[in-house]
């Protein structure tokens, strides 16, 4: 391809041979002319590398680039992909997920039209075994545009996965790095680093990404001993915001983000450890109060503020009230009962 690609798609690959062909089919079938597909084989011990080479040989006109490297984790793999990418914009696709054939085209058109640093699309949450669609997420934002200098709190409403988003290449090429990246909540922290270089975010309602829900995912296997390194990484990111000219005005949002992901999401995943959960919850509250104290006071997580500003953060504001009333464990018990009784899956 002689011309600069419009979009580089970065695909970290590790132990997904069962799903990889479906993902690759959706990538090579993209309707946008000028797509670069960068596949990072992160030392996968199965047949992933062979499958990638198969597609590279078959689709010689599709600009498929393979980075075959020793296993260093998805964080390092994404940075390797960013360094290699030559596109005007960059997006990520997890190798067990897949995308609609007009995914890159719709995101690219929206980015150019709105002159956005990041564009966010809707997506489906799908059971990987049955292909049952649990829910459709990140829709209802059409026409909305976030100016990070004026309303940075709106990023709290955006899902923190790196996929279903298109990034201007400069946003990621200038990304600051973490010396010791976390193994959990890594997408959220990666995205926070991207927001440091972001001025505007726009949306398209179309659900064009298929996120496959797997019970064996890392987020379903969080262990207590992993929490400390994750906390240290979040503290480091807040320090970066304090030292950055753009980030200084967004510290209240960082503290609110810390509550949402450490106070709620992480504690939900730790709740299966019934024996130690009470102490884990207590220590987590101390951590938030010490390192991210604005989580208690921020207006962005006050019910009256969310209602008066028609904010989509109302759910989080209500959860903060439950948390402060020491009713979180009761809430979790009811929540899990509903999930089990009605055999449903509700995204937090």
pLDDT digits (tens, 9 = 90+) for 238-264: 999 999 988 999 999 999 999 999 999
Pairing label, strands 89-92, 165-168: antiparallel
**Radius of gyration from C-alpha coordinates of the chain:** 20
pLDDT of residue 334: 84
∠ at Cα 158 (134, 296), nearest 5°?
A: 110
pLDDT of residue 44: 96
What CA–CA distance (Å, rounded) separates 328 from 340?
18
What CA–CA distance (Å, rounded) separates 166 from 112?
11
Please check whether residue 317 is in contact with residue 153, taking contact to mean a CB–CB distance below 8 angstroms.
no
Please check whether residue 300 is in contact with residue 256, taking contact to mean a CB–CB distance below 8 angstroms.
yes
Residue 216: is its pLDDT beyond 90?
Answer: no
CATH domain 7-218 topology: Spore Coat Polysaccharide Biosynthesis Protein SpsA; Chain A (3.90.550)
What CA–CA distance (Å, rounded) separates 59 from 269?
41
Write down the domain spans for the chain: 7-218, 223-342
- DSSP class of residue 6 equals S
pLDDT digits (tens, 9 = 90+) for 19-59: 999 999 999 999 999 999 999 999 999 999 999 999 999 99
Residue 130: which residues within 8 A CB-CB, separation 6 or more?
none
pLDDT of residue 344: 62
Q: What are phi and psi of 21, to 5 degrees?
A: -65, -40
pLDDT of residue 97: 98
């Amino acid at each position: 391809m002689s011309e600069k690609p419009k979009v580089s798609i970065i695909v970290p690959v590790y132990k997904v041979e069962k799903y990889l062909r479906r993902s690759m089919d959706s990538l090579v079938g993209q309707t946008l002319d000028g797509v670069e597909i960068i596949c990072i084989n992160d030392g996968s011990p199965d047949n992933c590398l062979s499958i990638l080479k198969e597609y590279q040989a078959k689709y010689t006109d599709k600009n498929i680039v393979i980075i075959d490297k020793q296993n260093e984790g998805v964080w390092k793999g994404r940075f390797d992909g960013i360094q290699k990418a030559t596109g005007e914009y960059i997006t990520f696709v997890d190798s067990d997920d897949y995308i609609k054939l007009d995914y890159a085209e719709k995101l690219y058109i929206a980015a150019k039209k709105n002159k956005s640093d990041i564009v966010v699309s809707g997506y489906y949450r799908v059971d990987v075994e049955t292909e049952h669609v649990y829910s459709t997420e990140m829709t209802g934002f059409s026409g909305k545009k976030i100016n990070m200098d004026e309303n940075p709190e709106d990023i709290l409403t955006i899902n923190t996965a790196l996929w279903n988003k298109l990034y201007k290449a400069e946003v990621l090429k200038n990304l600051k790095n973490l010396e010791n990246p976390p193994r959990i909540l890594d997408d959220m922290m990666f995205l926070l680093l991207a927001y440091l270089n972001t001025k505007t975010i726009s949306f398209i309602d179309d659900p064009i990404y298929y996120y496959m829900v797997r019970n064996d995912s890392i987020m379903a296997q969080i262990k207590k001993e992993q929490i400390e390194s994750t906390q240290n990484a979040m503290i480091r990111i807040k320090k970066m915001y304090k030292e950055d000219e753009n980030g200084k005005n967004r510290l209240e949002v960082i503290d609110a983000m810390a509550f949402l992901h450490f106070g709620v999401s992480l504690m939900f995943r730790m709740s299966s450890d019934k024996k130690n959960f009470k102490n884990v919850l207590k220590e987590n509250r101390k951590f938030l109060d010490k390192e991210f104290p604005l989580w208690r006071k921020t207006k962005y997580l006050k019910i009256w503020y969310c209602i008066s500003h028609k904010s989509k953060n109302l759910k989080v504001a209500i959860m903060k009230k439950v948390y402060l009333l020491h009713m979180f464990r009761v809430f979790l018990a009811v929540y899990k009962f509903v999930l089990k009784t009605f055999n449903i899956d509700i995204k937090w």
